[in-house]
Each structure stands twice: as C-alpha cells, then as structure tokens.
C-alpha cells in the first residue's frame, strides 16, 4: 500500500534522519509513522495521541499493513508516553505553538534525551523559536511547505545554545539566511492577510483597537522590510 503524504507532512519527514527511532506525538491517523515504516526511514516508531478515536484509526492502518512489530501505538498525553532515551527523534506537528511548547516543557527530560525535535506549529511559531532558544535547544534546519494556498513552517532543533534576534524569531533564522524559495510567497501572503485585518478595524477607535492596530502596522512594516531585502538580494544576483 502506497502512503501519500501532504506537502506539509512530507516536509516534516524530510527532517528525520534515516535509521533513527521516532516518536510522533499527536499522530492523528498515523500517516507519518506508516510512511516512515514503509519507506524504511525509521526502524522503530511510536505513534501516540491523546484522543482514543484518532489513535484507533492509526491502529487500524498499522494493522492493515501488518506493521505492529515496527509501530507501537500509545494512548497518552504529550511526552509522558515515552521513556527518556526511547526515541532519537520526537515529532510534534499540526498543533498550536503554545501547545507544542507546553508539551516540551512538561516532558523536558524526554525532549533533551532525544537527539532531535521536529516541530510544525500551526501558529505562534515565533514563540516556539524563542522557547527553544531559552531552553537549551538550537535550530539546525528549517523548511517551508505549501498546501492548498496555506504555508507551514517546519523547525528541526537539537540540544545546544542559540541566540535569536526578534526578526529571526519571527521569520526563522535559517529561512532568512538560506533564502528559501517559498519565503517570498509566504511573506507576501502574510502581508496581505495582516493588511486586510488592519483595514477591517479601520472604523473601530476604542483604546484596545488602537493598540492592536499599532501592533499590526509594526508587523506589516517588519514583513515589508524582509520582502524588500529579498527583492534587493534577487536584483543583485541578477546583475552578476
């Protein structure tokens, strides 16, 4: 049976080195663990979820493909399903950034025992990067994926030290430095969304609204600055 992952999960899978034991936290239907197993990327995978329904679906898929000896399905909350050192790579994908940081904070022993974290926050990505920097992790790889007009940021981190500027926390130190091919499209969409939100608040002049509008204007300015930098770099390279 061929398992076809979304662009988002393919980008997550690319950050998993071959031959490592993997734990997929919040596995949902179990597509990522099954993909890693049938493509001989990981010899042993733990697929966990807090919900009985999603885990039952993952167990059904694992059983259908006779992968019970390679994939262990576990019901539980966050990293509590793991014994420290049981996984070389911990994946947490498709959750909010604050939920991801909470899971890591509550399972810091398991997180530090793993050699790599592969994270795909749905939102509050800057908070995830700051959390990593503040808690003894360094970002070693970043990627962007596009699915049906939506962009997703993927972060791979390992134990170590890292300093982050505000701009790097917001847009990704490695996404900025490597000039990711999807970065400009991602930023253009973000600028448009922020501008629409700002315009929708134009007639609301309450104190809270005015403060929020100022924050949006500052964020739009930061995004525009990064886009301008990308365009300037592209122009310079075109002259060579």
Give per-10-residue mean pLDDT for the chain (240 aa).
88 98 96 97 97 95 96 97 97 98 98 97 98 98 95 98 94 91 93 93 84 91 90 70
Q: Which residue has the tokens 């919040």?
A: 26
Domain that holds residue 206: 183-239
Which of 135, 163, 191 is a domain's end point? Answer: 163
3-state secondary structure of 127: helix
**Are residues 91 and 32 in contact, defined by beta-carbon separation less than 8 angstroms?**
yes
pLDDT at residue 240, as a whole number: 58
In a domain, 169, yes or no: no
| 77 & 148 share domain | yes
CATH number for the domain that contains residue 59? 3.40.50.150
| 151 & 51 share domain | yes
Sheet architecture: strand order including 45-49: 71-75, 45-49, 22-25, 89-95, 116-121, 150-159, 137-147
- The structure tokens listed for 143 are 């990627």
Nearest alpha carbon to residue 78 among 45, 44, 52, 101:
101
Model's pTM, two decimal places? Answer: 0.92
Nearest alpha carbon to residue 198 among 186, 210, 216:
216
In a domain, 171, yes or no: no
| 132 & 219 share domain | no
In a domain, 130, yes or no: yes
| 90 & 125 share domain | yes
Q: Describe the crossing of helices 52-64 and 31-38 by its angle, rounded to 10 degrees.
A: 20
In a domain, 175, yes or no: no
pLDDT at residue 1, as a whole number: 65
In a domain, 173, yes or no: no
pLDDT at residue 208, as a whole number: 83
């Amino acid at each position: 049976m061929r398992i076809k992952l979304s662009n988002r999960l393919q980008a997550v899978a690319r950050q998993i080195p071959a031959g490592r034991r993997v734990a997929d936290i919040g596995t949902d239907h179990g597509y990522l663990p099954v993909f890693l197993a049938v493509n001989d990327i990981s010899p042993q995978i733990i697929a966990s979820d807090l919900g009985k329904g999603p885990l039952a679906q993952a167990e059904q898929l694992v059983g259908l493909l006779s992968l019970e000896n390679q994939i262990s399905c576990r019901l539980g909350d966050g990293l509590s399903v793991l014994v420290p050192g049981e996984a070389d790579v911990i994946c947490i994908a498709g959750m909010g950034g604050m939920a991801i940081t909470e899971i890591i904070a509550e399972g810091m022993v398991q997180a530090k025992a793993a050699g790599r974290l592969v994270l795909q926050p749905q939102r509050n990505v800057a908070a995830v990067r700051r959390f990593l920097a503040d808690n003894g992790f360094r970002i070693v790889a970043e990627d962007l994926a596009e699915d049906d007009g939506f962009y997703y940021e993927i972060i791979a981190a390992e134990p170590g030290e890292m300093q982050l500027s505000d701009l790097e926390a917001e847009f990704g130190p490695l996404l900025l430095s490597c000039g990711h091919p999807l970065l400009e499209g991602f930023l253009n969409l973000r600028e448009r969304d922020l501008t629409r939100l700002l315009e929708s608040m134009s007639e609301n002049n309450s104190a809270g609204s005015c403060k929020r509008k100022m924050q949006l204007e500052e964020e739009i300015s930061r995004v525009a600055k990064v886009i301008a930098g990308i365009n300037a770099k592209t122009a310079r390279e075109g002259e060579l």
